[in-house]
Amino acid sequence: MASVNGFEPRIVAFLCRWCSYAGADLAGTSRLKYPPNIIPIRVPCSGRVDPQWVLEAFERGADGVFIGGCHPGDCHYVSGNYKTRRRVVLLKKLLPQLGIEPERLRLEWISATEGQRFAQVVTEFVRELKELGPIVAGGDALRVTRDGQVQIER
Amino acid sequence: MSSPTSLTETRHSSPVPRRDAKPKLAVYWTGSCGGCDVSFLEVGEAIVEVLSRVEIVFWPALVDAKRSDLEALPPGSIDVALINGVIRTEENAEMAKLLRAKSKYIVAYGACAHLGGVPSLADRWGKEEIFREVFGKGFRPGPPPGANGEAALPDLLDAAVPLEDVVRVDYVVPGCPPPAPLISRFFGALLGGEMPEPPHVFANVKALCEECQRVRHDDRRIERIVRPHEVLPDPETCLLEQGLICMGPVTRGGCNALCPAAGMPCTGCLGPTPEAGDPGTAMLSALASLVRFEDEGEEYFPKEDGVLEALADPLGTFYMYSFGRFRRKR
């Protein structure tokens, strides 16, 4: 990742296979440009995203976590995205208590046809995270080494 | 430090298989409130029998013995050492290691030794931040000016950690403090010579809800979140259904659902079930599933947010006893 200002955020993205993952695919096949900072993980439904994964991603040094789900009413499993939305509301209340800015967690509805929107949302999220800076937990910045070790930067 | 007398030997002849000699017992407190030491009395008159069938070699709350007495013991000479409290200071860690060396089995007794307990909520902040907050600027942990090094208080560790972070733990008697049924379960196994294969937690694998007498409904959902002081709960219905955040679904049973029976929601002191794993995220998920109105959809989002907003302290609610184990910065 080439970086201009020295900080390139790492984003773990959980993408629903029915909509957001297909949306990301469309962005790719349409050759749309967006920053390469996201690490996409395909999940069967945004409702499959265990809140533990979100916290673990942050604890292991992710600067942002992105969850992509189907638009309201479109969930393949009827109500998975509604549950996810309520989890995200609660997580955003919990994160500040853990010393993590709630803005680092982002939930978006992106359908399979919205490749353009996917690229735009990711671009926006990366810009916001660059403004926030690297993740800091309990006053110490975390750094992830190439072999996946998390180190505390003093 | 009692020694066997003929009187107790004859009076307490028991049908359960006896070991050759009385088990040698140590009980020690680290970063503790003292409640765990008192909790043994919860078992009632049975305590008399228990105390007559063990040999207490070290128990600062009960008998006079010094650290030097403990140091003088040969390695492995204590059968079982029960340690309660969080590991907060260098001295706590030293004593835990000393007891480990002298004991065949180590028992994490109570929520602090088990999961960090309430004191580990301090792990939201670093050691330096805690010193700054409590003592202000200028405090140095160390001997006062002019004193020798011996006079220094033991330094705080970087975090308040559960016992298993410092020594190998064989058994856990969980709870804040451990409830009578689990204390009995432990001493029953010990005195019956039927201790399970370590590691073992002396509590149920199934959730507290399994033994709770309150009535659950299949279509349950939560339309409001309330705190215990705000309502007088219905005595029969599940507390979660009434909007009280009860940790029962993710917490081990074994206490006979003591708190819910008294109208107080479970706060999770026995620790999470093996299935729940992280109790905080498991409960957060459960709560997110339960909070909904007669239907779901975009038009209900603001109403749902209004309900969730009433949850005053997610971290303190979800990780009251387990922050040190599950969420401490590593």
CATH assignment of the domain containing B191: 3.40.50.700
Do residues B169 and B288 both lie within one domain?
A: no
Cα distance from B132 to chain A (closest Cα, Å)? 14
Q: Which residues of A touch B304 (CB under 8 A)?
A: 85-86, 89
Contact A87 B284 (CB under 8 A): yes
How many contacts (CB atoms, under 8 Å) link A and B? 74
Nearest to B111 by CA among B62, B172, B170: B172
CB A136: neighbour CB atoms within 10 A?
16
Give residue B4's pLDDT. Answer: 39
pLDDT surpasses 50 at B83: yes
Q: Give the domain range for residue B285.
A: 208-326
**Which residue from B minimizes the CA distance to A93?**
B314
Do residues B274 and B164 both lie within one domain?
A: no
Contact A86 B291 (CB under 8 A): yes
Do residues B53 and B110 both lie within one domain?
A: yes
A1 occurs within a structural domain: no
B158 touching chain A per CB within 8 A: no
C-alpha distances in angstroms, B82 versus A59, B42, B99, B145, B263? 32, 16, 9, 37, 31
Do residues B16 and B142 both lie within one domain?
A: yes
B55 occurs within a structural domain: yes
B132 touching chain A per CB within 8 A: no
Nearest to A90 among B288, B292, B329 (CB): B288
The total domain count for chain B is 2
Do residues B113 and B26 both lie within one domain?
A: yes
B329 touching chain A per CB within 8 A: yes
- Please say which residue of B173, B201, B229 terminates a domain: B201
The total domain count for chain A is 1
- Please say which residue of B170, B201, B232 terminates a domain: B201
Please give the helix or strand (H or E) that residue A141 lies within, else none.
Answer: strand A140-144
Task: Average the pLDDT over each of A105-114, A142-151, B116-125 and give the range with the smallest value.
Answer: A142-151
pLDDT surpasses 50 at B14: no
- Please say which residue of B201, B225, B256 terminates a domain: B201
Distance in angstroms (rounded) separating the CA atoms of residues A98 and A78? 32
Cα distance from B239 to chain A (closest Cα, Å)? 20
**End-to-end CA separation in angstroms for chain B:** 41
B4/A140: higher pLDDT: A140
Do residues B234 and B93 both lie within one domain?
A: no
**Which residue from B minimizes the CA distance to A48?**
B285
**Which residue from B minimizes the CA distance to A81?**
B297
Give the model's confidence band at B131: pLDDT under 50 very low, under 70 low, under 90 confident, else very high.
confident
